[in-house]
Amino acid sequence: MSSNKKYWKSVEELDENSSIVERLQQKEFVEEIPTDEFLGDKESLSNSATTRRDFLKYVGFTTAAASLAACEGPVIKSIPYVVQPERIVPGVANFYATTIADGFDFASVLVKTREGRPIKIENNILSTSKAGVNARVHASVLSLYDGKRLKRPMANGQNVSWEEFHNQVGNALNNVQGEIVLLTQTFASPSTTRLIDEFSAKFGNVRHVVYDTVSEDAALNAFEAKFGTRALANYDFSKAETIVSIGADFLGDWNGGGFDAGYAKSRIPENGKMSRHIQFEANMSLTGANADKRIPVTPSQQKAVVAALYGYIAGGASTSNLPGNIDDAVIKAVNQLRKSGSKAVVVTGLPDTDAQLLVIAINQALGSQVMDTDNPRMIRQGSAQAVSKLVQDIENGSVGALLIAGVNPAYSLPNSKEFIEALKGVDVSIAFSMKEDETAKLCKFIAATPHYLESWGDVQFTKNNFSLMQPTIRPLFDTRQFQDCLLKWNGNSISYYDYIKETWNGSLGLGSWNDALHDGIFEGTIPGVAAVLTSETATAVNNSTSAQNLSQAGETKGYELVLYTKVSMGDGQQANNPWLQEMPDPITRSSWDNYVTISKADAEALGLINENVANGALNGSYVNLKMDGVVVENVPVIIQPGQAKGSLGLALGYGKKEGIKEEMQVGVNAFPLYKDFKSVQNVSVEKASGMHEFACVQLQNTLMGRGDIIKETTLEVFNTKEVEEWNKVPVVSLNHMETPVTSPEVDLWQSFDREVGHHFNLSIDLNACTGCGACIIACHSENNVPVVGKVEIRKSRDMHWLRIDRYYSSEDTFTNDINKKDDISGLGESLSQFGELEQPGDNPQVVFQPVMCQHCNHAPCETVCPVAATSHGRQGQNQMVYNRCVGTRYCANNCPYKVRRFNWFKYSGNDEFDYHMNDDLGRMVLNPDVTVRSRGVMEKCSMCMQKTQKTILDAKRDGRVIEDGEFHTACSAACDKGAMVFGDINDQETKIVKMKEDKRMYHLLESVGTKPNVMYQTKIRNISEA
Amino acid sequence: MKKVKFRHSTSRFLLLSVVFLLSFSALSFSQEKQVSPDAGQPAIEVTDAPGSALGDPANGKSLFNSLCAACHKPYSKSIGPALNGITDRQSLEWITSWIHNSSAMIASGDAAAVAIFEEFNKMPMPAFPQLSEAEIGDILAYVETPKPEPQAAAGPVAQTGGATAGGGISSNIILGILAFVLLMLLVILFLVNRTLRKFAVASGVELPEKEKRTPIWKSFVQNQFLVLVTAILLLLGSAYFIYGFFMQVGVDQGYQPIQPIHYSHLIHAGDNQVDCKYCHSSARTSKQAGIPSLNVCMNCHKSIGEVAEATATEEYSKEFYDKEIAKLYDAVGWDPATLTYTGVTKPVKWIRIHNLPDFAYFNHSQHVTVAGVACQTCHGPIQEMEIVSQNAPLTMGWCINCHRQTNVNIAGNEYYQKIHEELSKKYGVEDLTAAQLGGLECAKCHY
């Protein structure tokens, strides 16, 4: 059943005695306006030199002067090109295919450029490699215009020319004593590999160490042991019927990410079937939030779960030493896996080679078609062992020259203190960096490198899938690529571009080179490299030993800390990107912070609290985390429903201090706890003093009793019951008769004719939406949405046009709860069962719901605007006219969906908001087709009017009919999961018409009768056990 | 913002006074000057021997202009060499065979021919076998006309009070004289009156005393009704003017700034009939009509280094225009002496005349390509503008009016078929206006 479930947004709401919840429900503005602050101080008021009359005079004069000055228009200059480049037409966008490969994110993208400026990242729909365009990739265009970027090379702290730089470095390299070490990110670039080989040949005594900031070492080791290649197995979840994940956040950044598009395909019920997803995990991750069944278990128990799974499926065991309830879950999972056979898959994110080996063995035993080991992923190459050894060697003094490219070890190494000390002893240290970051600051030479949108490159995603990187703008600063520098020092005079072409000369001819560059991707094999044997190598891998090792993983002391990466921040490379900082975490809904997540029981035991202050903002206690002498102090705490007892979570990538704006220096650096590059650590926790102020969205207000905002049901009900039972159209009273709200008689309004021309609708599938947030950033960059900063977010003044709401619900339905209560007999039973009822926060179910302006056909906002600044178009779009708006905010008050955003300030060119819109460089990212809103006006989603209008105009110019799939909004184009479908419902051929007629379709708060043009597809959970 | 079009009324008054004075000092006014001979083209009218030994220069001129002028100039290098003096350098037979088939001469290895070919970047000259020897003689006669001396009087005519010329002068003078006569009469009357009074006082005639009355302003103040009516009128009047003042704030109709290069749309779009979209090509595909990049100018101005004499007007002399072309060469980095690009460019900072506010979205291609609206509909008779000014007010009311009145051009456009069918049924009309198609919706232009 759908509608009788109780949804809640924060733990606070579950507390019946909380006064704040009550107050928030009753009163929108709980806090008194602090007029006393400026009126209460009688003394200073009377002592003021400015009398009231003087004040009015000043106001009068300045207003008059300002209005007089405004009468004269400015002289605007227009400067055309002297020689216009052939392909640039002012006002028309060009698209180029390129590739991001920053060592953490790898994806083939389309870049939209205007007048030679990249302004937006889009999905490359031609891309076949499953490396997704996530929120960070969408935001990476803003990192191009980062004011903190290095503008020229430096030697010994002085700005130098490249010529001088090459001279000095060349000399130093030729006279180096000891080993030359290249410490780099994973380039996954065949040309770079070839180049480094040549570099080694030229200088001799060269070692190349690949360092992944966030390591996949265990999985790489396991794959290497099994198949002889250092790579990662690839997974195509679209083929999966059963997915069992043990601690793998595969919808996040697990194994390089990008699995979510395939996963979403398997989640949409088709012919009564959808995949079943079982997740064993400690942190409440994005993946766990999407799972049909989630079992919170600590990492040490997860190891035992892997061992037990292996035992049941491949090892022939019939029992395990797991606690009863977990063992029960494992057995159910095993049955499910067996039932699906080759359509089943098991994955794990445990930083343990044994666990990874077992998982491969389980998948092989199942004959899983989901796992692909023939065409493995090459986008993680780092070796924890090699990095650790390198740090030792530097300390020993055997390293003469250290070239660091694309990584920031002084910030991200767990033993960064030792590294920093040791680095001082290295004769020649060169950092190839875009920023003067922690590492670059310590190096003698800093080579300023370009952003990927200014670079050439080739990338090997998987063994057979390649992609090319091409510049989309001339370098903004005096920068050179790492590879160009190596070429120079190798004594090779050609450019890296020619070098790449040379690499692919044999396998890509001129025509196919141009095609590959145009498409951005191509398939093939690395030329000159003998096909590596992918069949199982003879290496004896003893699975039963691994299983034994795992199941004997002893009891742990203290808390088990699980380090993870957020979808917004990743490994922290783009920490100076305000879009990402302000993007709320999909689970905790907090922005501008990282924090320790802890279960409610543990928090109570430690005396840690979360509380909502009077304006609804969240405060939390601090803790200190200790591990073998490493102390991370003052980490704020968020009590996370669903967190496994005895475990903690903490995000990496925060707490940077160098090469980053002051506003963006938020959070704590968790890398010191990342010992041996393992994401699971044992720590002890102690409470610290003080309270942290979080900047959470959505948590400030309550649901106000409107629980029917989400509709969900189970696959079983969906398949067997009538649609009225699980997706009922709300009824209202008409002459004391229950009448469906969709019938015209109940309508107060005269409807306009919407049959003519285009009529746009947007469908959002709650089953396919994983909550990844790519649409949020795509919307930001398409619509020039400002960044408001932590303080303003705390005041609920966030400007996101599109938000993804997250709702928790307890596993059982309300009716089940009531039944359970009624059935209780006897005191003993009542004690235990009431206890269960009282703890809905232990393991909640989660729903993600993207919400933007619903473009109601009967919009409540339109009728209350005193100046008609918001009106309705025939195409279904609710139109907001900024130049007409006077800022009464009546519309926002009358909007049932809270999607209208008020510009409290002028966010562009304002020193108080020192984000990208405050400097010329950052403003280059603005979309010239969308107005930059000013202070005092309302704004909201326009359903990407500029995009629909452009599509229509293009068709008009060509004199043709518009095909299905041409219309897009920024969010629907960004959603590679297909959760968002946009189109014209007056064209009967389109997909959106089918979505509208789907029985899962419902409208948000339909009972209000707003008739929105945005629709949702009911969430279906596959909860039936096999 | 400079508004050159409207002169200040005081300046007009001053001008009138000057006219008034002038009418007494210089009644005979010099008439328009003779058209001075062109410095770039031979002035055949003034040559002493029109039918010189070579042929008829008049016929030669028409032949030259139709066949040769694209690449040759008589007195200066262009794509090909300057032709004046060619008969001294080469024999008549050589010239004739070159004209008939130059490439054959080069192929045959004629030293002079090869040298010319090399000098001018190996640009082959098309063969003109159709030209008879007599016609070639005519052309040579034309190009061998000696270069006329530039006349000293050819300098730019002052742009000051140029309005004095022509027939207007007589009426002004008559008016001036009349005014003067009236003034004289007034003075005389006043003097007569004074003299008569003196006589009366002297002869003891008693003048009647005027009765003391309340001054008119006092009685006005005492009449409350009148005060009220006047106050209302005053208020209404000032409200009218204040409203008018505010409504024109930001409306720059007539805005006519001085541009860094004096580019004349009159010459290009008017006299030479260059299509608007030849230069403003992006109007076809983009929201911006675009100011042409300088390489577009050079498509023609590579070979047009100076204007024809006939281009010069009273206001702008040939020298003036030639200087403007020189400014273009300077900006684009073209060396007219060597006919090569120097690579030193100085982008031109034009002053934008038509400025829409940032919150209004206007797309040229929608209007130009889809609707087929002529540029002149909004920009006015641009082909007649020596200096471009803003023709339309560019206010929202102006946009809306046009959208209400203009029928959408749907002919042959498949996109419109369905919607036109549906809408014309709905409204019961055959032709649909832009407004009926949704052209008045706010967010079609504001987003």
For residue B304, pLDDT over 60 is answered with yes
The mean of the pLDDT values for chain A is 86
Mean pLDDT of A389-396: 91
Amino acid B3: pLDDT: 43
Residues of A in contact with B347 (CB under 8 A): 79-82
Contact A91 B414 (CB under 8 A): no
Q: How confident is the model at residue A653 (pLDDT cuts 50, 70, 90)?
A: very high
Determine the residue type at A617: A
Determine the residue type at A650: L
Q: What is the pLDDT of residues B41-51, one digit of tens each?
A: 554 444 444 44
For residue A14, pLDDT over 90 is answered with no
* Adjacency order of strands within the sheet including A803-809: A7-8, A803-809, A845-851
Mean pLDDT of A255-271: 90
Interface test with A, best of B415, B416, B437 (most A CBs within 10 A): B415
Amino acid B1: pLDDT: 44
DSSP A101-141: ESSS-EEEEEEEEETTEEEEEEE-TT--S-----HHHHHHH
Name the percent of chain B in helix, strand, coil, to the closest 5.
50, 0, 45
Q: How confident is the model at residue B34 (pLDDT cuts 50, 70, 90)?
A: very low
Residues of A in contact with B331 (CB under 8 A): 82
Amino acid A35: pLDDT: 65
Contact B350 A78 (CB under 8 A): yes
DSSP B135-154: HHHHHHHHHTSPPPPPPGGG
Instruction: Give the length of chain B.
Output: 447
* A78 interface with B at CB cutoff 8 Å: yes
Q: How confident is the model at residue A6 (pLDDT cuts 50, 70, 90)?
A: confident
Nearest Cα to Cα of residue A237 among A224, A225, A254: A254
Report whether A952 contacts A721 (CB < 8 A).
no
For residue B152, pLDDT over 70 is answered with no
CB atoms within 10 A of CB A702: 19
Mean pLDDT of A611-636: 87
Instruction: Give the length of chain A.
Output: 1026
For residue B282, pLDDT over 50 is answered with yes
B41: Cβ–Cβ under 8 A, 6 or more apart, which residues?
A: B61, B74, B308, B309
Burial class (CB in 10 A: 0-12, 13-18, 19+), A92: middle
Q: What is the pLDDT of residues A279-319, one digit of tens each?
A: 999 999 999 999 999 999 999 889 889 988 888 888 777 77
DSSP A940-973: ---SSHHHHHHHHHHHHHHT-PPPTT----HHHH
H-helix or E-strand spanning residue B295: helix B294-301
Tokens of B299: 């498509």
Nearest Cα to Cα of residue A141 among A1000, A1004, A970, A993: A970
In whole angstroms, give the CA distance from residue B389 to residue B265. Answer: 11
Name the 3-class secondary structure at B17.
helix
Distances (CA, A) of A379 to A105, A526, A895: 9, 15, 46
H-helix or E-strand spanning residue A597: strand A596-598
Q: Are strands A344-348 and A242-246 parallel, antiparallel or unpaired?
A: parallel
CATH fold, domain B44-150, is: Cytochrome Bc1 Complex; Chain D, domain 2 (1.10.760)
Please compute, for residue A502, the number of CA atoms within 13 A of its CA located in the half-sphere on the CB side: 11
Contact B415 A80 (CB under 8 A): no
Mean pLDDT of A409-421: 91
In whole angstroms, give the CA distance from residue A838 to residue A11. Answer: 12
Residues of B in contact with A929 (CB under 8 A): 287, 361, 447
Q: What is the pLDDT of residues A184-224, one digit of tens each?
A: 999 999 999 999 999 999 888 899 999 999 999 999 999 99
Question: How close is the nearest chain A Cα to the Cα of B198, in Å?
Answer: 57
Name the 3-class secondary structure at A245.
strand
Greater confidence (B110 vs A624) lies with A624
Is the full-model pTM beyond 0.95? no
Residues of B in contact with A955 (CB under 8 A): 415
Amino acid B2: pLDDT: 44
Greater confidence (A22 vs A865) lies with A865
Report whether A358 contacts A256 (CB < 8 A).
no
Amino acid A33: pLDDT: 63
Name the 3-class secondary structure at B300.
helix
Weakest-pLDDT range from A226-235, A548-557, A994-1003, B147-156? B147-156
- CA-based max dimension of chain B: 120
A979: Cβ–Cβ under 8 A, 6 or more apart, which residues?
A: A264, A764, A765, A766, A767, A768, A769, A770, A850
Residues of A in contact with B426 (CB under 8 A): 753, 756
Amino acid A510: pLDDT: 58
Q: What residue has token string 């790489």? A: A220
Contact B444 A932 (CB under 8 A): no
Q: What is the pLDDT of residues A888-928, one digit of tens each?
A: 999 999 999 889 999 999 999 888 899 999 989 999 999 99
For residue B28, pLDDT over 50 is answered with no
For residue B433, pLDDT over 70 is answered with yes
Domain locations in chain B as residue ranges? 44-150, 216-247, 265-396, 397-447
Radius of gyration, CA atoms only, chain B:
34
In whole angstroms, give the CA distance from residue A612 to residue A698. Answer: 12
Determine the residue type at A862: E
Greater confidence (A131 vs A963) lies with A963
Amino acid A530: pLDDT: 45
Tokens of A72: 């004269």
Tokens of B191: 């003097």
Tokens of A678: 């393992």
CB atoms within 10 A of CB B126: 11
Amino acid A412: pLDDT: 92
Amino acid B45: pLDDT: 47
Q: What is the pLDDT of residues A545-566, one digit of tens each?
A: 777 777 665 566 789 999 999 9
- Which domains are delineated in chain A? 232-377 (3.40.228.10), 556-696 (2.40.40.20), 707-821+849-1021 (3.30.70.20)
The mean of the pLDDT values for chain B is 81
Residues of B in contact with A880 (CB under 8 A): 443
In whole angstroms, give the CA distance from residue A657 to residue A411. Answer: 9
Q: Nearest by CB to B443, which of A73, A78, A881?
A: A881
Mean pLDDT of B280-289: 91
Question: How close is the nearest chain A Cα to the Cα of B182, in Å?
Answer: 44
Interior CA angle at B263 toward B260 and B264, to 5°?
145
In whole angstroms, give the CA distance from residue A857 to residue A854. Answer: 9
Distances (CA, A) of A573 to A250, A581, A924: 20, 12, 21
Question: How close is the nearest chain A Cα to the Cα of B388, in Å?
Answer: 15
In whole angstroms, give the CA distance from residue B351 to residue A631. Answer: 63
CA dihedral for A901, A905, A909, A910, sign (positive or negative): negative
Amino acid A944: pLDDT: 94
Report whether A465 contacts A237 (CB < 8 A).
no
Nearest Cα to Cα of residue A591 among A627, A617, A552: A617
Contact A82 B333 (CB under 8 A): yes
Most confident of the following: A334-338, A745-749, A832-836, B167-171? A334-338
Q: Nearest by CB to B355, which of A76, A755, A961?
A: A76
CB atoms within 10 A of CB B125: 19
Q: What is the pLDDT of residues A673-707, one digit of tens each?
A: 998 899 999 999 999 999 999 998 876 555 656 66
Interface of A with B in 867-896 (CB under 8 A): 871, 873-875, 877, 879-884
* A87 interface with B at CB cutoff 8 Å: no
Determine the residue type at A441: K
Mean pLDDT of A998-1002: 92
Residues of A in contact with B258 (CB under 8 A): none
SS (H, E, C) B373-433: CCHHHHHCCHHHCCCCCCCCCCCHHHHHHHHHHCECCCCCCHHHHHHHHHHHHHHCCCCCE
For residue A29, pLDDT over 60 is answered with no
Measured distance between the N- and C-terminal CA atoms of chain B, rounded to whole angstroms: 28
Contact A956 B286 (CB under 8 A): no
Tokens of A1013: 């043009």
Contact B351 A75 (CB under 8 A): yes
Mean pLDDT of A46-60: 82
Q: How confident is the model at residue A258 (pLDDT cuts 50, 70, 90)?
A: confident
Amino acid B158: pLDDT: 41
- CA-based max dimension of chain A: 95
In whole angstroms, give the CA distance from residue A656 to residue A441. Answer: 13
Task: State the angle between helix axes of A190-203 and A496-503 in degrees (0 to 180), rounded to the nearest 10.
Answer: 110
Radius of gyration, CA atoms only, chain A:
29
Amino acid A281: pLDDT: 92
Interface test with B, best of A756, A948, A969 (most B CBs within 10 A): A756
A837: Cβ–Cβ under 8 A, 6 or more apart, which residues?
A: A817, A820, A821
Report whether A561 contacts A671 (CB < 8 A).
no
Greater confidence (A782 vs B145) lies with A782
Question: How close is the nearest chain B Cα to the Cα of A342, in Å?
Answer: 49
Nearest Cα to Cα of residue B443 among A881, A520, A381, A688: A881
Weakest-pLDDT range from A40-49, A426-435, A914-923? A40-49
Contact pairs from chain A to chain B, CB under 8 Å:
152
Amino acid A625: pLDDT: 92
Interface test with B, best of A68, A72, A84 (most B CBs within 10 A): A84
Name the percent of chain A in helix, strand, coil, to the closest 5.
35, 20, 45
Contact A873 B295 (CB under 8 A): no
B111: Cβ–Cβ under 8 A, 6 or more apart, which residues?
A: none
Per DSSP, what are the bridge partners of residue A803?
A851
Mean pLDDT of A836-858: 80
Per DSSP, what are the bridge partners of residue A101?
A106
Determine the residue type at A733: S
Interface test with B, best of A68, A83, A948 (most B CBs within 10 A): A83
* DSSP state at residue B48: S
Contact B447 A946 (CB under 8 A): yes
What ipTM describes this predicted complex? 0.83
Contact B426 A756 (CB under 8 A): yes
Q: How confident is the model at residue B112 (pLDDT cuts 50, 70, 90)?
A: confident
In whole angstroms, give the CA distance from residue A290 to residue A770. Answer: 6
Per DSSP, what are the bridge partners of residue A154?
A159, A446
Q: What residue has token string 């339109």? A: A862
Amino acid A688: pLDDT: 92
Weakest-pLDDT range from A686-700, A951-965, B114-128? B114-128
Q: Nearest by CB to A931, which of B365, B426, B447?
A: B447
**Buried b / exposed e across A827-856, counting CB within 10 Å, b at 16+?**
eeeeeeeeeeeeebbbbbbbbbbbbbbbbb
Name the 3-class secondary structure at A626.
strand
In whole angstroms, give the CA distance from residue B64 to residue B72. Answer: 9
Amino acid B431: pLDDT: 85
Weakest-pLDDT range from A289-303, A564-578, A714-728, A817-831? A817-831
Contact B350 A961 (CB under 8 A): no
Question: How close is the nearest chain B Cα to the Cα of A777, in Å?
Answer: 19
Interface test with A, best of B301, B361, B447 (most A CBs within 10 A): B447
Q: How confident is the model at residue B169 (pLDDT cuts 50, 70, 90)?
A: low
Nearest Cα to Cα of residue A310 among A536, A542, A547: A547
Contact B443 A879 (CB under 8 A): yes
Q: Nearest by CB to A91, which of B288, B412, B441?
A: B288
